[in-house]
Amino acid sequence: MSPRQNGRAGPLVELSFSLAWGPNPPQEFTLVGTEARIRIGRKADCDLPIDVSSVSGEHCELFLKKKNRDPILCVRDLSRNLTGIRNPTVASPHKPWRELQNDEVETLQHRSELQVPARTKSKLGTDTRTTIKVLFLLPDAYCPWRKVGRWDYEEKLGEGGLAVVYRARDMENSQRLVAVKVSKFARLPAASQQNRHIYALHREARWSMERLHNEADTRYQHAGGVLFARYLEDHTGFNPHAPQGDFDALRRRFEDSSFSWAEHRFDNPPLAERPYVVLEFIEGKLLQHLVESGPPLDRKEKTTVIRQCAKALVYMERFGVIHRDFRGCNIFLQGRSSKCQVKVIDLGFMISADASHARNPNPAVRCAWQGDPERKVRFDWAPPEVRTKGAPNFAVPAFSFDVFSLRSRGGPDSTRC
């Protein structure tokens, strides 16, 4: 079932997923709207019937809640013998089960597990509980039952307003670990204002592949490239729209001040139904997490972090680009001690530092830095001159934007580390 969308509105609250139990291949379900339910229980008319005496007639139900524009899959217990739930991770694959009491609700993630029922009293001493695995329908996901698909999604690593990042194994390449960044905008119409988000995902991948990590570029330096997360693949569908594969020509076309995202149709060829990009998997912790939760950085580590962040800004200047989101939640730290390594991530706001972009109204270039007083969004890593109504995207010299972020409370300054 496809989301009912138009060129302006975002997707309806809709989510497709599979439920797998026992040796059977997963069964696919789709929920549309917050009133729809997937019922699990002993009754024959349940969406997923389980003919076991210890299972209640309607044991539990799955439904959607809405968080901002995002659908959140939830489970509610309706039973006598309770419903077990656990969200295993790679680090803790055998987490203990938690029992949901009657009418209690819990949020489900990719690979969450349900135990129906949580409690059982079998006279034969056998375990009659059924374990059900929840699998989100992610792009080109590997199915162990059918042995098809490429990416074995293991767990969610992080989430932003526009995409979700998963740890995955590449089943076609020696099961190497990668990070797959999946857009929240799927199956969009050919003409839609929201297609700009797919373009931004494509652009961030190409900044890495065509510029920061492109060894054929005379500006490339290994010491600079290693400071940024390396993007490996682009599956957004934008590549064919670049004239002769020219990244500069593509940006000139889609970042033109008069370009209309709401009117332009991506028909020939269409964009990807489930856009995503693939990048290297980074084993480390976000700098923001270390600042807030510790263990705190010592003086040598702080010095190393600040020096590497400054070098990252210098390296971006070689390519004439500005990050515009240079802050602790977009900087990983690998290892500890003076040999720790910074990795800058999320190039979604990165644009050319060309002066013509300073007042460019194209929504693929423009960012709204005014904040939301009700949600207490402050954007304190952005310079003050861009945080007023009608402000420029950046002030000349453009690189001062990221310099301000490095020195501000939003950036990785040594006083907060």
Residue of 154, 137, 110, 100 lying closest to 2 (CA atoms): 137
pLDDT of the residue at 415:
44
CATH architecture of 283-417: Orthogonal Bundle (1.10)
Domain covering 138-218+230-281 in this structure, CATH number: 3.30.200.20
As given in the structure block, the two tokens for residue 173 are: 């390449």
Radius of gyration of the chain (CA): 24
| Number of neighbouring beta carbons within 10 Å of residue 317 | 17
pLDDT of the residue at 168:
98
The set of residues, in sequence order, having a beta carbon less than 8 Å from that of 176 and lying 6+ positions away, is 169, 170
The set of residues, in sequence order, having a beta carbon less than 8 Å from that of 127 and lying 6+ positions away, is 120
Domain covering 14-136 in this structure, CATH number: 2.60.200.20
Percent of the chain as helix, strand, coil, to the nearest 5: 20, 25, 55
The set of residues, in sequence order, having a beta carbon less than 8 Å from that of 179 and lying 6+ positions away, is 157, 165, 166, 167, 168, 229, 278, 279, 280, 281, 282
pLDDT of the residue at 184:
95
Domain ranges within the chain, ordered by starting residue: 14-136, 138-218+230-281, 283-417
For residue 36, give the amino acid letter.
A
Return the residue matching tokens 């001690």. 337
| Number of neighbouring beta carbons within 10 Å of residue 230 | 14
**Angstrom distance (rounded) from CA 245 to CA 243:** 5
CB 87 within 8 A of CB 106: no
pLDDT of the residue at 10:
45
The rounded average pLDDT for each run of 10 residues, N- to C-terminus, in the chain (417 residues) is 40 86 89 95 95 93 92 96 92 90 94 93 73 96 93 94 96 96 94 97 98 98 98 97 92 97 95 97 94 90 95 98 96 92 96 96 90 66 90 94 84 53
**Angstrom distance (rounded) from CA 38 to CA 45:** 11
